[in-house]
């Protein structure tokens, strides 16, 4: 269970503001450190890579809904 520690700390009860879905991926931006937990999160669709920060868009969305493809 110890290797689930990071995913547990990152797991927040984020709910999609559009449909109330909990199928939410966290958007990682920049150059995140690829821990074992994050690699598994990517594989499971719980984390996506948002790339480098884009100027002109602020605040940047932090979450991506896997159901309706919205970012918020």
Q: What residues make contact with Zn ion under the rule CB under 5 A? A: 16, 18-19, 21, 65, 67-68
The residue (of 6 and 70) whose beta carbon lies closer to Zn ion is: 70
We find the least distance from the C-beta atom of residue 67 to Zn ion, in angstroms, to be: 5
Task: Please check whether residue 41 is in contact with residue 11, taking contact to mean a CB–CB distance below 8 angstroms.
Answer: no
We find the least distance from the C-beta atom of residue 16 to Zn ion, in angstroms, to be: 3
CA–CA distance, 42 with 20 (Å, rounded to integer): 22
The residue (of 2 and 12) whose beta carbon lies closer to Zn ion is: 12
Characterize 32-41 residue by residue with b for buried, 16 or more Cβ atoms within 10 angstroms of its Cβ, and e for exposed: eeeeebbeeb
């Amino acid at each position: 269970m110890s290797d689930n520690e990071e995913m547990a700390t990152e797991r927040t009860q984020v709910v999609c503001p559009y449909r109330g879905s909990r199928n939410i991926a966290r958007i990682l931006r920049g150059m995140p450190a690829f821990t074992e937990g994050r690699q598994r999160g990517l594989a499971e669709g719980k984390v996506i890579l948002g790339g480098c920060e884009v100027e002109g868009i602020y605040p940047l969305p932090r979450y991506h809904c896997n159901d309706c493809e919205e970012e918020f």
